[in-house]
Structure 1
């Protein structure tokens, strides 16, 4: 059984989340995270030796070192959500060094941020914690806003600053997604050639994906297909939002799906929905990391631990949580990151 503190944070959902067993896609069919993930999963792939070393570097750092799981601090919100909206709650993070310090003190496997943030402190910190350089962004100052991602630098520049990996976002479903897919695929190819790992933010964006008051941007079937497209362009790790509903294809009445997706491969249980996301990451060959979401204040800790439990029991590789950690005093941010990591260190929390 899980540690008492975790049970307490899960609250009324503790029994459902900690005792559930998947009857949809069996745990035995997954490439579940393990200390031997690189040897068992990636060694037989087309990744070159330098890339294998970079993946192992990510998996071998921080409090979760050599468990097969990762805890990553992402702070690219200064562009995606504006610096004022992101850092006003805690202005110390206008200084990039504090972002890296939070990741180090918080025991993270890596820190993910922009060319500017990581480049400004690269000589001091690139050898102390793995860097994931976020290569594209929705600059979010053009009016009206668009669902687009544009490149902010070069893969060579990320490599020159000592990055272990690069990260990118694709807004699948948006009008601009075609060029994003092409640009990101080319960028990932070059990153692998230079020996860096690749992480893809696989997000759904289209106003038509909201229907009858329901937001299907986090539908299990749509997000899982985004994952499948992400691993197709050879992302080593997939970042995805935790599913909150299902049936996006049927509700919006587009694309192609199958009745067994809803009748056999998923249920309404959050772990089963996340398991379907893992299945679309080549049954876990590419690790699924779920995002922590926006900061809501007092409920952040319990929400983060709940997401971590769902991700771990579904077969995911970890959590990537930013705003819940950096939009509060640093000591509280460290506590939140450590609480997430404690879920993955707890041997009582197993695959469902």
Structure 2
């Protein structure tokens, strides 16, 4: 059989096939050369009553990861954020924690709430997962010195100490009522405020609990008036705080009302009514906004005050992990924990963060602020720090 002469087209086709074959052979080597991303879990309440806070956490963590990756990543590796919704529910939080363990995620930003953090502590510890919370202020979270838990925020002990000290100094010998919403968060705050009040010679006249969802506080206000209390400390969240303030003012109680950052909510002042003016709360003076996005990105959407409160702190939590990974040249959670426990300062948009041996910040970020009426008629707290 005679062989047909090879044409120029056939030669070109053969060359293309050869190049394609070489590319296929080279692809596994190229893929292997690209380092796998460092995965960071985000556990936040994206649904449920605390979704506003959780959505801020997600916005902050996502922007931090995007900004870090835009700058070249960490030690030549990109970051990948794995987002899970704990709905603010301890049972769902435990499911989220177990899913991170199953998926091999060993670094987590979260959880937000005291209850969800408590439900996941043992799971993370057993699985070798390091967690840094931007919002769980529950003092007992770090009390037993677990190796793997850090706080990019203050603690109830710090908040309660500031409030209890202020009450003792401002109302020496006067009867004080302490109220909490029976949650881990609210009761912890009230316990710490009571401790500081007692240590400084203050007088506790009432210590009572309410439940989340309660709406009628007339009986509680009557007991406050009967005890002739001069001030009230409340450990809990904005919805019940607002109704309690309204009931107090409607009932003729004019004493001071002091809360925590749990009452930080855009609807607090409106729900509490004119009596919200003068309300005090302990608050970490965070930036109200994340850093402005680069010009090549779409402008960030506007966020509610509660979202902004945790967006910046979640951004900072990712920065802490980035700095520790760079310093240790490793994403190993044990090595990162050892570095942070050793007092190495981490640079973040909130300033330097340094942790003690238990995982708490070495300095309290809280100040006492007051809600005041603004020239345009609103009641707001921005910039209203109270001199101690």
**TM-score, normalized by length of structure 1?**
0.28
Higher relative contact order (CA 8 A, sep 6+): 1
**TM-score, normalized by length of structure 2?**
0.27
